[in-house]
Amino acid sequence: MTTIIIIIVGVTLLSLGLMWINNIFGEVDVLTDDAFSTARKVVQQDMAPDDSFYVSGYTIEAKKGKMTTFYAGIQFSGSEDDTADFKINAKAFDEGGNEINNNDIKFILPPETEIKAGEVKGFPIGIKIGKNVAKGTVYSVIVKAEKDGSNYEEETLIIEVT
């Protein structure tokens, strides 16, 4: 009888532990290979030949608690054999111009990437809006491309929480 009670308590604790782990890690978002493939297609289709930096959309609707993806493209026009390391960063600002440094908005950014001269690369950028953010909230976002650690180009866009 005692053995059965111990087994039931053990299974219950194990189930609760697994649910807790799922809640913790269930909110982790990643940029998948499919997102990079879509970014490449969007950038090849929409980026002008003379653009060095491109962002797919200047107003983005993002649902709170969900990840929304938009795309950026970098075209490096260096000398023939040049390569450079590029990194994309993003900062959000509220309507008063104050930088947002909490969990209200989180960016999932691609890793630093080496680009050869003349090459065009597309990158997915994820946005996750916190669950406590009110619908209708508007953020301005500056998306920057950095080349070898210094500013290369930047674009500004608007994110509206839906």
CA 145/CA 7 separation, integer angstroms = 56
pLDDT per residue over 35-56, tens digit each?
A: 888 888 888 888 888 899 999 9
Please list, residue by residue across 107-117, b when 16 or more beta carbons sit within 10 angstroms of its beta carbon and e when fewer do: ebbbeeeebee
Q: What is the DSSP string of the chain?
A: -HHHHHHHHHHHHHHHHHHHHHHHHTT-----HHHHHHHHHHHHHHS-TT-SEEES-SEEEE-BTSEEEEEEEEE----TT-EEEEEEEEEEE-TTSPBP-STTEEEE-PPPEEEETT-EEEEEEEEEE-TTSPTT-EEEEEEEEEETTEEEEEEEEEEEE-
pLDDT of residue 16: 82
pLDDT of residue 102: 80
pLDDT of residue 22: 67
Q: Is the pLDDT of residue 21 over 80?
A: no
pLDDT per residue over 109-161, tens digit each?
A: 999 999 999 899 999 999 999 888 999 999 999 999 999 999 999 999 999 99
**Length reported for the chain:** 162
